């Protein structure tokens, strides 16, 4: 995917989306702020809202794939194994014996389907490689395994921070996510378009949306943004984070939520400057993003570039 397309995909923009089933109107306003910043968005009406003011904001609808009768094995298999996923239906027959070289670690293979992993290439480790299910009927699903205490594949694992020797670019701090990159690595050699790709989380089948909110900063200027989850009309199923440490700093960077430090990062020496990530617990006594009030997310690179990304699954 070219830079212009990546910018269009991730660039913060104003959008208003309705969810009549739950009576929720969601307004996301993305405001570019470099340096010291504090921004709040207050509801102009009484409808429940998820609000975030950040350098980049994007919301994705989550849609369950409707597999063809010939691919029914995918339903039961993915429901048991998969978490966050991206998929495409080519509507064309796929030659299972002629899959691209990026399809590796084949776990199972028949004349009708194959299960393996996707080699993401330079800059990534095998722990970054997503799983992939390919069916002869035309379905390709790239996914991470269901998140557990042993397999911490929270949604934030998909985040890839932009690699840039000058630091994070102001309006495109995120690069193509790992799942979409894996899907492209499988589809491109076969001449398959991924423009119709959709996201879904098999671990949380009731989740209808994924929210990504990002903030970056440079030099000695910390940065903040606020986020609010309404008390009614919205159910948050997972909250997670990705923290990208500074390129120039030797002391590491850190981020806080309402004054509590959640991660202290340390710089990496080679691109893509792999970030740390983790989950924000939803247990009431340990939930940093409790509903009904604004929460301040603070990130400080001390003397270098850094960034924080929150990911929320909700319905």
Q: Indicate whether 249 pLDDT > 60.
A: no
Between 193 and 35, name the one with better pLDDT. Answer: 193
- pLDDT at res. 121: 92
DSSP SS3 for 215: strand
- CATH T-level fold of 3-62+207-314: Jelly Rolls (2.60.120)
Highest mean pLDDT out of 35-39, 190-194, 295-299, 305-309: 190-194
Each residue's pLDDT tens digit, 130-188: 999 999 999 999 999 998 878 888 999 999 887 655 455 556 788 889 999 999 999 99
Q: Indicate whether 197 pLDDT > 90.
A: yes
**Percent of the chain beyond pLDDT 70?**
72
**How would you label 37-75 residue by residue, b for 16+ Cβ within 10 Å and e otherwise?**
bebebeeeeeebbbbbbbbbbbbeebebbebeeebeebe
Domains of the chain: which residue ranges?
3-62+207-314, 69-201
| Upstream peptide bond of 90 is cis (omega within 30 degrees of 0) | no
Taking phi over 0 as left and psi of -120 to 50 as alpha, with beta for the rest, 303 belongs to: alpha
State if pTM tops 0.85.
Answer: no
- pLDDT at res. 170: 54
Each residue's pLDDT tens digit, 259-273: 888 877 655 554 444
- pLDDT at res. 252: 67
């Amino acid at each position: 995917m070219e830079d212009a397309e990546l910018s269009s995909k991730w660039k913060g923009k104003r959008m208003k989306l309705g969810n009549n089933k739950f009576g929720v109107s969601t307004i996301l306003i993305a405001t570019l702020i470099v340096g010291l910043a504090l921004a709040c968005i207050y509801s102009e009406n009484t409808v429940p809202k998820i609000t975030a003011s950040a350098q980049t904001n994007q919301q994705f609808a989550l849609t369950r794939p409707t597999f063809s009768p010939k691919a029914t094995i995918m339903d039961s298999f993915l429901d048991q194994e998969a978490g966050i996923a991206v998929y495409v239906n080519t509507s064309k027959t796929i030659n299972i014996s002629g899959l691209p070289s990026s399809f590796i670690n084949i776990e199972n293979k028949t004349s009708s389907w194959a299960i393996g992993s996707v080699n993401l290439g330079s800059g990534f480790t095998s722990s970054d490689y997503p799983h992939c299910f390919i069916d002869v009927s035309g379905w390709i699903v790239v996914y991470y395994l269901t998140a557990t205490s042993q397999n911490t594949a929270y949604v934030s694992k998909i985040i890839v921070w932009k690699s840039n020797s000058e630091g994070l670019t102001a309006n495109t701090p995120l690069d193509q996510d790992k799942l979409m990159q894996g899907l492209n690595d499988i589809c491109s050699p076969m001449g398959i378009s991924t423009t119709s790709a959709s996201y879904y989380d098999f671990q949380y089948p009731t989740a209808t949306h994924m929210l990504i909110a990002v903030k970056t900063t440079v030099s000695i200027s910390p940065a903040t943004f606020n986020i609010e989850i309404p008390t009614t009309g919205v159910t948050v199923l997972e909250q997670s984070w990705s923290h990208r440490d500074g390129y120039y700093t030797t002391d590491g960077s850190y981020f806080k939520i309402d004054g509590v430090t959640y991660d202290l990062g340390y710089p990496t020496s080679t691109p893509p400057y792999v970030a740390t990530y983790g989950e924000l617990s939803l247990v009431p006594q340990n939930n940093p993003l409790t509903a009904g009030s604004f929460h301040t997310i603070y990130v400080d690179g001390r003397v270098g570039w850094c960034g924080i990304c929150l990911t929320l699954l909700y319905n």
